[in-house]
Amino acid sequence: MAKTAKAKAPTDVADLTKAQAKVEHKRLALEIENHNKLYYQEDAPRISDAEYDALRQRFDAIEARFPEFVTSESPSQKVGAAPSGRFKKVRHALPMLSLDNAFAEQDVLEFAGRIRRFLKLGDDDKIDFSAEPKIDGLSMSLRYEGGELVTAATRGNGAEGEDVTANIRTLEDVPNKLKGRNVPEICEVRGEVYMTKHAFLALNERQKAAGDTIFANPRNSAAGSLRQKDPSITASRPLGFFAYAWGEMSAMPEATQSGMIGWFQRCGFKTNPLTRLCHSLEQLVAFHRKIEEQRAELDYDIDGVVYKVDRIDWQERLGFVSRTPRWAIAHKFPAERAMTVLRDIEIQVGRTGSFTPVGKLEPVGVGGVIVQNVTLHNEDYIKGIGGDGEQLRDGRDIRIGDAVVVQRAGDVIPQVVDVILDKRPKNTKPFQFPKKCPCPLHTDVVREETATGEEGARARCTGEFACPYQKVEHLKLFASRRAFDIDGLGEKQIEFFFEQGWVKEPADIFTLEARNNKIKLEEIEGYGQTSVRNLFDAIRRRREIALERFIFALGMRHVGETTALALARGSGSWKSFHDGALKVAKGDEDAIAEMDALDQIGDTVIKGVAAYFGESHNRGVVERLTKEVTILDAEKPKSNSAVAGKTVVFTGALEQMTRDEAKATAERLGAKASGSVSKKTDYVVAGPGAGSKLAEAKKHGVPVLSEDDWLKLIGE
Ligand code: IVH
């Protein structure tokens, strides 16, 4: 980011040096992301479409000239970001969910076991599965009314997607009118839009020549092609569609998944030709193996296979666990690997001072994305003497200049899994792990303690809050979405404000506006009157903050979001938490016991709280901060269902549902289903044959409901 230079007329992209282009690419990425957020999440655009398009054009031109700047994080690649044009939102009649993953055969076995238990099937009852390739594209919901295509919507967040009907109409694989007589009045056909691998390569060639968006993989290029304002552009991009699922249907034409696939074909859709009906676990595993063998030869990317219970009545009974169906699973393929060269090793210092060595690679494509950074975990991993590193590399160390094999498994961060010694350049030396922090203080480094107090593998800077790296990392966490959630104060801005000395600790964020007559933020490149006003508005909005966010934002070691919530709910108010924490830091045994008694809180967290409040520097930071903000008392868990937060015990025979189904429903509504009755139980739901639990309920005065009472209570 240009530091203090004033805005001037932009240089032609063709005349930028690589260093200038890199700086501008970063700045534009931030700006575009910010506008996308304003537009999509807040429905509050601050610039016109034309201004937005101009930003995008310049950004795309830079990426076209320097394709090495393109990463999967770039706004040009984001499915949720518009390459050009913006779309209306559509609420899905039924949510679009995702799939749980299986990696090993054991996971598939357990998946089938869960289904068997849930449906109470005997060992001899057969379950048929539809086995399908898992296409790595974008899911799409196509709504037909009276046989005519009326809306095509992207998945979006699952509940609400974007209306891309005009663009979808240009796809050959999507019929505008369903074929066949007697199609149900309402049909939502769901499936995957994808681009073939060869079309993707050809498209990137053309894009580069025209100075347009370069895509990182076929999936991103399919997304980019769909999100065009001008449908004729989508029409010029070769997109395919496979139908494999449905949403709202006014009537079901078939009783099985495989039947539905046949029906999609009869309506005029393409379905994946590799789809098979499997009758046993052995057949599923064989299907997985066979498709994996064919994977490289297929002209579209797949990242696994999907198994779905074939009988739709069973699918309905099995239902969903949070956002994934119980009746389907994605069996992923093992990680893909590629060879490249390790150019450098950099040390990143985290918020708590811990070091992460990051390998800088010669960029390489692995499993559809370009990888250029890889975590090297810790010193032992680099030496080849720790954990996975040891197993995979047989004790070989990793050196700068080495030829390395990089692996990427699903969404997992890429790893170095092998070092090719034959290719090791002659003059390499083992990597010397730093003994001093790379921060200007050069503070000593120690091995971090594990939760059990032993020496861990990670190195830490001992500078604590004197270490500027840790301070800045803490500020980033403080302003982040999960903590204070201050719009317009992302990581880059924090770094910049910190370097300038304007924000050195959290309280400074809230005094920024009052100091701005000296700082004059509006005169800095990338900031105008409006964005400065927006930033100050955003900061002002966060002067009131929920207790759990406040506790999380302090950045105590071992206090993540969940723990912060537990501490907040357990303490109720900031005053009560703060008083307790100060006492805990002094070793007050009653206070420690009190914190220990809170739900989900144990020794490690207490140590983190004590260490934090034991430091006078931190106490000062907290004191100055609490002068600037109002901390709201903790909220009770809320949900609008009648049984949210209640504990329920099911006993006896249930007639309208299985026990597992009943428990799953209770949990979905925010209740806790328990196996035994105590005075904490809120309801016992008893069917015929209920025994000792009924007696227990009477003993504790717990209300007893019939199955019908229960269904009435939950409104089903
Ligand atoms: S079924 C309720 N079948 O995978 C589950 N999904 O991780 C509905 N996908 O969002 C999805 N091929 O985009 C299903 N044969 C297939 C699929 C498939 C690819 C994608 C889809 C979905 C994601 C879930």
pLDDT digits (tens, 9 = 90+) for 298-341: 889 898 999 999 999 999 999 988 778 999 999 998 777 788 99
Ligand 1 pocket test target in 94, 139, 287 with most atoms within 8 Å of CB: 139
At 3 the pLDDT is: 36
pTM of the model: 0.51
Task: Give residue 419 CA to ligand 1 midpoint distance, Å.
Answer: 36
Set out the domains of the chain in order of their start, with CATH numbers: 13-77 (1.10.287.610), 89-332 (3.30.470.30), 464-542 (1.10.150.20), 546-632 (1.10.150.20), 647-714 (3.40.50.10190)
In the set 18, 37, 120, 134, the catalytic residue is 134
Cα–Cα distance measured from residue 399 to residue 382, given in angstroms and rounded to the nearest whole number: 8
Determine the longest span between alpha carbons in the chain, in angstroms.
Answer: 84
Q: Which atom of ligand 1 is nearest to the CA of 97?
A: 2
Ligand 1 pocket test target in 79, 92, 98, 188 with most atoms within 8 Å of CB: 98
Asked if residue 567 lies in contact with residue 551, where contact means CB atoms within 8 angstroms, the answer is yes
Cα–Cα distance measured from residue 52 to residue 32, given in angstroms and rounded to the nearest whole number: 8
Ligand 1 proximity of 244 Cβ (cutoff 6 Å): yes
Asked if residue 546 lies in contact with residue 556, where contact means CB atoms within 8 angstroms, the answer is no
Q: Which atom of ligand 1 is nearest to the CA of 155?
A: 10
Ligand 1 atom 13 nearest Cα:
139
At 44 the pLDDT is: 61
Task: Give residue 98 CA to ligand 1 midpoint distance, Å.
Answer: 6
Ligand 1 proximity of 157 Cβ (cutoff 6 Å): no
Ligand 1 proximity of 192 Cβ (cutoff 6 Å): yes
Ligand 1 proximity of 135 Cβ (cutoff 6 Å): yes
| Residue 38 DSSP class | I
Residue that the structure tokens 């501008």 belong to: 24
List average pLDDT for each run of 10 residues in the chain, which is 716 residues long. Answer: 44 85 85 74 64 80 83 62 61 90 92 94 92 95 96 89 93 94 94 92 82 76 86 89 97 97 97 97 96 87 95 94 90 83 92 87 79 86 67 77 80 75 91 88 76 66 80 93 92 92 96 94 86 94 95 91 86 94 94 84 88 89 96 71 85 81 77 83 87 86 90 83
Phi, psi of 23 (to 5 degrees): -60, -45
Ligand 1 atom 6 nearest Cα:
134
Ligand 1 proximity of 325 Cβ (cutoff 6 Å): yes
Ligand 1 proximity of 483 Cβ (cutoff 6 Å): no
Known active-site residue 134:
yes
* Strand intervals (E) in 252-354: 276-278, 302-309, 320-321, 324-325, 328-332, 336-349
Asked if residue 233 lies in contact with residue 87, where contact means CB atoms within 8 angstroms, the answer is no
Cα–Cα distance measured from residue 335 to residue 409, given in angstroms and rounded to the nearest whole number: 4
Ligand 1 atom 18 nearest Cα:
134
At 80 the pLDDT is: 43
Asked if residue 91 lies in contact with residue 159, where contact means CB atoms within 8 angstroms, the answer is yes
Ligand 1 proximity of 245 Cβ (cutoff 6 Å): yes
Asked if residue 154 lies in contact with residue 226, where contact means CB atoms within 8 angstroms, the answer is yes
At 411 the pLDDT is: 45
At 667 the pLDDT is: 74
Q: Is 612 left (phi over 0), alpha (psi -120 to 50) or beta?
A: alpha
Q: Is 358 left (phi over 0), alpha (psi -120 to 50) or beta?
A: beta
Asked if residue 171 lies in contact with residue 193, where contact means CB atoms within 8 angstroms, the answer is yes
Ligand 1 atom 24 nearest Cα:
98
Ligand 1 atom 9 nearest Cα:
134
